[in-house]
Chains A and B, each alone.
Chain A
Amino acid sequence: MHGISPQQFAGSVASFLWPYYLALAAMNGIFAYYLWQKSENRPFFSLPTPGFAFRFTPALLWTIVAIVYVFLASLAIGAHLESMPQVPQGFRDFVNASSKATIYSLGTTAVLVVLYLFRSWFVRPMVAWSIWNLMLLFLGLSMPDPNFFSIVAKPDNVPIVALVFLLAFFTWLAAYRAVENDRRMDEGLPPVEKLDDEKVLVWPDLVYTEMICMIALSAVLIFWAIWLQAPLEEPASSVKTPNPSKAPWYFLGLQEMLVYYDPWMAGVVLPSLIIVGLMAIPYIDFNKQGNGYYTIRERRFAYITFQLGFLELWVTLIVLGTLLRGPNWNFFGPYEYWDAHKVEALTNVNMSEYFWQYWLHRSLPTAPPNSTWSTQLGYILLREAPGIILVLGYFIMLPPLMAVTVLRRYYQRMGFIRYMVLANLLLFMAALPIKMVLRWTINLKYLIAIPEYFLNF
């Protein structure tokens, strides 16, 4: 922490933590009360105690959790870092170690796959509530760590932390209702949304809801603006760039893309493709099911593609750019000190250099001096031939291959043009993680590198 004593730091942490824990306690208490009122408060187990039957119900469990939170709040209020509950050092080391780029990305993917495969278990309210509590507890227990606190409590990053929790909640909500509908359709029942599909009126039903939301959101924004100071930085200078220099949080996914692609690709082509692809969805999608109700099984392809594109390629990159990118755009673990002089020995190599120098042990094909323009172009194309062949093969060979294998049904249903649009959009989408993993694993800079004509891929 810059310029503040450990005592001041402990005070600022405590001022956040004890209301936070009390809020969590209230949240669990309300949940326990709700369960107690509801008839579905079936006990986990019963103890044959004399006098009365002791029944360990979910309501009792969450009451105990609430009491634990009150206890944590009482520990945090003392503003002594030693007495504050913290995550153990071993856990921090583990998280720091697993925050390396490759492990982080592949791990996120693995977690998403597990969540998807076992969704019927994860969406159960008891399980989801436990995960929700663990996430919040993780945040609270990590706060006494100065490095973690400086990242998470930075006014720039508060929206992203909120976004992670909001996203978890809404993803759960949608998956919960989809799983419920899928189960009902197994039993031959209509989806929940069809049970009560009576029309509601725009006025007053919708407009009132919107107005209440508007008032609530305005209140939140006002209090937020009062509570957190605007994160202003030093005056802009054309010869001094802040280190690290981060885009607004919603563009951090784009900034992360720029690390792996030429600015022309990552700044123009890929964002345009994202927008065009989103606009093309209604013309590509031929699945008439799932209209007006949540379902996963009836729209498996659409669901997986969307969650991959949104959760994996957008939100995960935002979180990565916010929490894991530090000075000089190096990777830092959440509990790691932002050392501006952290040495990351990286030497990125182009595909052409791999091919000609590492594998063929020759120098790069270079045009003889004072050669004509066309000769130079020929040499450039020869130099980049391996990458060009790879990229062209990826975009030309893969769609037909997919058409006869994994996407055969889609090709038959969609026809040539629609299928090609879909296949190319999918391939462009997949190109980003492929390039990222190639960069992290074999330090590949560009598959095609023609800086002479500003053409890099």
Chain B
Amino acid sequence: MADMSKKSVADILAAARKADAKGDSATASADVVSAPAEEATELTPDAVKAPADLKPATKPGGGRLSVAEMLAAARAQKEGGAAAAAPKAKEKPAAKPAAAPAAKAAPKKEVAAAVAEPLDTQSILASARKSTKPGPMTKAEAQSIGAPIAPAAKKAKAKEAIVVPPMPVKPAYAKPGAKPSKEEIFERRVFIFGMSFLAIGFVGLATTFALWTLGTVRFMFPNILREPPSRFSVGTADKFPPGQVEERFKAQFGVWIVNTEYNGQQQIVALKSVCTHLGCTPNWLEAEQKFKCPCHGSGFYKDGINFEGPAPRPLERYAISIASDGSIEVDKSKTFQEEMGAWNDPASYIPV
């Protein structure tokens, strides 16, 4: 019983039943049978303490009893009492290791009398829950708790120590080295067959994930036609009088052609109609002579310099030049940023 706590509740119950049902533990039975009277009055400590004798001697004042252990102990007492009462009623020896049938066979009245209401599971659980603190405790706590436990342990000493049933002998088929029979080989083949299905499943899963990953990578390169940055003609320079913002090309090319003054020089420039804040398309407000973004209120002067709202830098320029036929040509493949000093580049404007 040294490793009592490692056993399952079923094992403990079985062991406890066996021990108590033997019948030779007259003292224990007597103890239990006579118990109700006193237990009715002070069940709670008894119920808690009774299993204390099950505790190994090597764990003095060790961990507190778990609920499972308490239940086991309580059942042991209950069954023991019933078993003790049963023979009297039916003269049936409690030879069966499990006394439950006997208990059931016993007259209800006697069982009730023997067990009494304090021994039911609810009250034991309740008493277990009422204990001061669950979980492990310090040695000092254990000592302070240990004192009241001691008398109960003494009282229960009379009970026979519970003996663990021996491990069953290993059957022949479980011993190694036996030559497999045809049926066994067939079973193994079935097993391998099943395993191969499992393997197929996992390989399929891995393949699917790999394809998914590849598909995700493919998603990063959408199937679009990347048009070469367009180069288009907007007409001759005389179509853009000074001070004008030409909006005709905004819808198709996203460009304003502006004839304005920059750094004291009259220029024709191609402003990119993308707000430098977050990429909305600003509107040209003729009455106020400014570009105004509807998303966050950034404002730009006619020459594209930002002056209000959150846009951190001026609008960008596209490359602009005069083609061989004399018309103005805008090249969207190249942009010029003012804050980089690129607006001084002659390719970014046409002097008028």
List residues of A whose CB falls within 8 A of some B CB: 237-245, 255, 258-263, 266-267, 327-330, 341, 343-344, 346-348, 369, 445-446, 449, 451-452, 454, 456
Contact = CB atoms under 8 A, between A and B. Distances in A.
Contact of A240 (B251, B278, B295): B251
A10 to B, nearest CB: 31
Interface stretch (B30-38, B155-163, B285-293): B285-293
B339 A239 contact: no
Q: Which of B273, B283, B309, B312 has the most CB of A within 10 A?
A: B312
Contacts of A446: 312
Nearest to B287: A341
Contacts of B309: 259, 329, 346, 348
A239 B310 contact: no
Contact of A348 (B252, B293, B307): B307
Contacts of B252: 239
B340 A238 contact: no
B337 to A, nearest CB: 8
B294 interface: yes
Given A241-B295, A346-B299, A451-B313, A258 B307 contact: no
Given A255-B296, A327-B294, A329-B294, A241 B281 contact: yes
A449 B312 contact: yes
A245 B297 contact: no
Contacts of B278: 258, 263, 267
Contacts of A343: 287-288
Nearest to B297: A329
B250 interface: yes
A198 to B, nearest CB: 16
A161 B146 CA distance: 67
A320 to B, nearest CB: 13
B295 A245 contact: yes
Contact of A245 (B280, B287, B307, B312): B280
A346 B308 contact: yes
A341 B310 contact: no
A239 B273 contact: yes
A259 B310 contact: yes
A258 B280 contact: no
Nearest to B301: A347
Give the 7 A-B CB pairs with smallest separation, nearest first.
A329-B297, A243-B294, A451-B313, A346-B308, A451-B339, A241-B281, A241-B280
Contacts of B294: 241-245, 327-329
B23 interface: no
Nearest to B313: A451
A388 B341 CA distance: 23
Interface string B173-196: 000000000000000000000000
A245 B288 CA distance: 20
A239 B251 contact: yes
A316 B280 CA distance: 25
A182 B82 CA distance: 58
Given A259-B310, A346-B299, A456-B312, A238 B293 contact: no
18 contacts: A239-B254, A239-B273, A239-B281, A240-B281, A241-B293, A242-B294, A258-B277, A259-B296, A261-B310, A262-B310, A328-B297, A329-B293, A329-B295, A329-B297, A330-B297, A348-B308, A451-B339, A454-B312
A267 B312 CA distance: 14
A350 B296 CA distance: 18
Nearest to A347: B307
Contacts of B287: 341, 343
A381 B174 CA distance: 82
Nearest to A367: B341
A456 B251 CA distance: 31
Contacts of A262: 310, 312
Contacts of B339: 451-452
A262 B285 CA distance: 24
Contacts of A260: 310
Contacts of B310: 258-263, 266, 445
Nearest to B341: A369
B277 to A, nearest CB: 6
A454 B296 CA distance: 18
Nearest to A265: B310
A260 B254 CA distance: 26
A343 B287 CA distance: 9
Contact of B308 (A244, A266, A347, A454): A347
Nearest to B277: A263
B293 to A, nearest CB: 7
A243 B296 CA distance: 10
Given A238-B281, A241-B283, A255-B296, 18 more contacts: A237-B251, A241-B280, A241-B293, A243-B294, A244-B294, A245-B295, A258-B278, A258-B310, A259-B310, A261-B310, A327-B294, A328-B285, A329-B293, A329-B294, A341-B287, A346-B308, A348-B308, A454-B312
A196 to B, nearest CB: 21
B74 to A, nearest CB: 26
Contacts of A449: 312
Contacts of A346: 299, 307-309
Contacts of A327: 294
Contacts of A242: 294
Contacts of A454: 312
A284 B293 CA distance: 41
A258 B294 CA distance: 13
Contacts of A347: 307-308
Contacts of B282: 241
Q: Which of A327, A329, A330 has the most CB of B within 10 A?
A: A329
Interface string B259-295: 0000000000000010001101111010110001111
A218 B251 CA distance: 43
Interface string B290-333: 00111111010000000111101100000000000000000000
Contacts of B297: 259, 328-330
B281 A341 contact: no
Nearest to A453: B339
A454 B278 CA distance: 12
B148 to A, nearest CB: 31
Contacts of B292: 328
A155 B254 CA distance: 32
A454 to B, nearest CB: 8
A243 B282 CA distance: 9
Interface string B46-70: 0000000000000000000000000
